[in-house]
Structure 1
Amino acid sequence: MVFSLACYPEDSEDDHPYGPLEVKAGERKKDFYPYELAVGRGPRSVEAEAAAAYHVVQGDIEDLLLRLCAPDASGRVPTGACTGEEDWIAPVAMSVTYNANAAELARDLALSWVSLHHKESISRIAGTPLSALHARVDAAPRGARVPMNSSSELAGSLSRETVLKALTTPPATLLEAIEAAAVPDDTWRAAEPKVRELMELRHQLDDEAAGEVPPAFWVDVTTREHTRFLEEHAPFHVRRLPGGGVLLATHPYRTLWPLWADALFVLGLMS
Structure 2
Amino acid sequence: MTYLAALLLAGLPAPSRAQAVFDRMDQRGELLGWEAVGRVETGDGFCTGTLIARDVVLTAAHCLFDDTGRPIPAARIGFRAGYHRGQSIADRKVVRWLAASGFRDSAGGQLNGTMIANDVALLRLDRAVVSAEADPFRVHQSSRAGTRVSVVSYGQGREEVLSRERSCDLTAEYSDGVLAFDCDVTFGSSGAPVFVSVDGRMRILSVISALGRMQDGGKAAFGMRLHTHVAVLMGRLRRDAARPKISIGARRLDAGQRNETGARFVRP
TM-score of Structure 1 vs Structure 2, range by shorter chain: under 0.3
Structure of greater Rg: 1
More strand by share: 2
More helix by share: 1
